[in-house]
Amino acid sequence: MSDSTIENPLLRSQAYIGGEWVGDSSSNQKRVSTGRVSILNPATGALVAEVSDLGREDLLRAIQCAHQAFAPWRRLVAGQRAVLLRAWYDELIQNVELLAEIITLEQGKPITESIAEVRYAASFIEWFAEEAKRLYGEIVPPHLPDKRVLVTRQPVGVVATITPWNFPAAMIARKVAPALAAGCTVVAKPAPQTPLTALAMAVLAERAGIPAGVFNVVPTTDSEMAGEVLTGDVRVSKISFTGSTAVGKKLMQACAGNLKRLSLELGGNAPFLVFDDANLDEAVKGAVASKYRNAGQTCVCANRFLVHRSVAESFASKLAIEVRSLRVGNGMMRGVDQGPLINEAAVRKVESHIQDAISKGAQLVCGGNRHSLGGTYFSPTVLSHVDRTMLIAHEETFGPVAPIMTFENEAEAIELANDTRAGLAAYFYTQSYERFWRVSEALDYGIVGHNTGLISTEIAPFGGMKESGMGREGSRHGILDYTELKYICSQI
Ligand code: SIN
């Protein structure tokens, strides 16, 4: 079966290396060293496109192209790079609907969420186009009368980005835009499930006039090979990865060999605290926005609901009313709130967390099973009477399940919330000003939402503590990880 109706001018099935589209079978195109991979629509199982599946030689070629492009790209003044990034931003904004369609077709999220994702992705490109011009150095008061001391920031060099399928446009933009703004060039390896969005972004970068070799996209299903090549090659100065904590640790070990720079945005286990002085209706609204966005397939989405015992029942029943009203379906249909999960393995993980919780005493408030639409659709679920003996309290579910645990007092709530090696995002609802300060300071998380379930924005630093990673993306801090400090000591 194929999605034969797709006529999207941004759809490409070839890799983008050195400013060329490679891998087409037509004779005048460069061939890639391996085969092709079928990209299937998770909503229907239909074929969306057959994409080049690159091998080691192709990746090495992309690294070489990025390496060659680095010197002329870094030589541009920041304002020139900013103009090109701004043109890329304009292309995304002018093509929001087309790019969003590709996201929904290969990833499954509702089209309204895909449109929001394209705007979110574009916001990073716009932001870093502006930040390119503000990469200031320092002139330090000298330590000796005849010395002058300058501190500058230089681009790290070639950056390899490795990005996940859950936000196939935004995660690329959040890494590539600051890298390019700083003067780095990029080899981008998209997730094997969602290469089409990355390739469409390359179409738009090419239209914007980003020079050949500055931004390369290398789709491959051989993630192990890609990791090995990108971490092992000394022409790559930095890896920026978003994905699982397990893979992040492997990349860190691999980077140790040549002390490659590394930024990691890894898994979360976000607590969502509801205190007895919270506005419950607002808390329910925030819970739905946080938990069921992208069918719960988000690193920052609430993974555990910790609710004061006195309001737990009321919170659970209000939440269940909202959750039952969520419309599950093909993301291309208007009015759908939740699309399919990315694949069968994702559904099995959700099922295993629910089964484990129920076998240990949790109660199903709503959902709990595969959706009648079949495939990888799953019913939005709420579980009550969850406790910390259950898998769901410790592992990232990455699916549309809200497990509710209870606490007796603030100290217990904080202790439960911090009882994890993850430290990406946390949320809490309270109307008390004093509690706002106490709780926001006590939570060991890089991102804290107070009275809101939505925290993502290009203007703030995104990143985690503990095993949720290292480095920050977005904000004025997000460009710094793509630079090296250089101190220049001048004798006068
Ligand atoms: C993620 O899930 O890793 C990113 C989510 C976001 O940027 O909001």
Pocket probe for ligand 1: among 300, 462, 468, 475, the residue whose CB has the most ligand atoms within 8 Å is: 300
Which amino acid appears at position 91 of this protein?
A: E
Give the helix/strand (H/E) hosting 274.
strand 270-274
Which residues face 403 on adjacent strands? 383
pLDDT at position 218 is: 98
Question: Domain ranges in the chain?
Answer: 3-266+468-488, 270-457
Ligand 1 centroid–CA 220 distance in Å is 22
- 309-338 confidence digits (pLDDT tens): 999 999 999 999 999 999 999 999 999 999
Mean pLDDT, residues 20-26 taken together: 73
Ligand 1 centroid–CA 462 distance in Å is 9
The yes-or-no answer on residue 313 being catalytic is: no
The closest residue, in CA terms, to atom 8 on ligand 1 is 456
3-266+468-488 CATH: 3.40.605.10
Ligand 1 contacts (CB < 6 A) are 166-167, 170, 242, 265, 298-300, 456
d(CA 208, CA 227): 29
Residue 32 predicted with pLDDT over 70: no
* Residue among 327, 329, 326, 392 at smallest CA distance from 358: 392
DSSP-based three-state secondary structure for 43: coil
In 197-269 the beta strands, taken as DSSP E runs, fall at 215-217, 236-242, 261-265
One of 91, 113, 126, 265 is an active-site residue; which one?
A: 265
The closest-lying atom of ligand 1 relative to the alpha carbon of residue 242 is 3
Pairing of the two strands 261-265 and 469-470: antiparallel
- 330-384 confidence digits (pLDDT tens): 999 999 999 999 999 999 999 999 999 999 999 999 999 999 999 999 999 999 9
pLDDT at position 425 is: 98
> How many other CB atoms are found less than 10 A from the CB of residue 129?
23
270-457 CATH: 3.40.309.10
Residue 31 predicted with pLDDT over 90: no
The closest residue, in CA terms, to atom 7 on ligand 1 is 456
pLDDT at position 28 is: 42
Of all residues in the chain, the percent with pLDDT exceeding 70 is 97
Residue 27 predicted with pLDDT over 50: no
The yes-or-no answer on residue 322 being catalytic is: no
Residue 205 predicted with pLDDT over 60: yes
- 247-271 confidence digits (pLDDT tens): 999 999 999 999 999 999 999 999 9
